[in-house]
Amino acid sequence: RIGRQHLVSFQKTNKGITVSSCYFDGTSPSSAYCDGKQYWIWLFWGTHDEITLINNHVVNTAGRTPHAGGWSKSLNYVHLVGNSMDNNNHGGIEPRTGSYILSEGNKWTAFTHPINIQAKGGHLAMVNDANGASQCKKYLGAKCLVNKYDSKSKSKTWFDAVVLSQFSKLDKTAISSARNA
């Protein structure tokens, strides 16, 4: 019940960070929309972040899962894989300038906007179909996992292949290991 960010990387280099198998409950009396749901869950703002979020469960949030980039020196590589995102009426992933976010194999339930509708300036690859999954093989050596949505969770199409190009410069073994986990 912290009422603000759960995880923050701030203006320093943050490489080799993995957040795995955590439960993030955004239930809070201090909520931006007065609906009992915390707004800032993950804020990644480093000068060179390499962060993997894998097999986490995120519930009762109102936004920024994650917010990445957004200032002139940002360079953020964020890999979301195999997470369960539940119960959010407002907004989710928010790519901003300097961010490269790969979202694959996540499950969205009662999540109105998996991508924040005000997000702009960053790069996002939401793997929502077989075509997106296949493009991963070209850049990363293996197919990505397709995200899943319930009937209340409709994601707009945002598949920026520059994310895959940028991720191909990172440790491909680590990326594949996260996917396989």
For range 45-64, the mean pLDDT: 94
Integer Cα distance of 45 and 102 in angstroms: 16
138-181 per-position pLDDT tens digit: 999 999 999 999 998 877 789 999 999 999 999 999 999 999 98
% of the chain beyond a pLDDT of 70 = 98
69 φψ region: left (φ > 0), alpha (ψ -120 to 50), beta (else): left
Q: How many residues does the chain have?
A: 181
Q: Is 36 helix (H, G, I), strand (E, B) or coil?
A: coil
pLDDT at 106: 97
Integer Cα distance of 140 and 169 in angstroms: 9
pLDDT at 2: 56
Query: In sequence order, what are the beta bridge partners of 78?
Result: 51, 101
Integer Cα distance of 153 and 151 in angstroms: 6
pTM for this predicted structure = 0.95
Does residue 39 register a pLDDT over 90? no
Does residue 15 register a pLDDT over 60? yes
DSSP-derived pairing of the beta strands 57-61 and 84-88: parallel
87-141 per-position pLDDT tens digit: 998 889 999 999 999 999 999 999 999 999 889 999 999 999 999 999 999 999 9
Integer Cα distance of 116 and 93 in angstroms: 6
For range 1-19, the mean pLDDT: 84
42 — pLDDT class (breaks 50, 70, 90) = very high
Does residue 3 register a pLDDT over 70? no
pLDDT at 32: 78
Integer Cα distance of 169 and 24 in angstroms: 30
Does residue 36 register a pLDDT over 90? no
Report residue 143 CA to chain centroid gap. Answer: 18
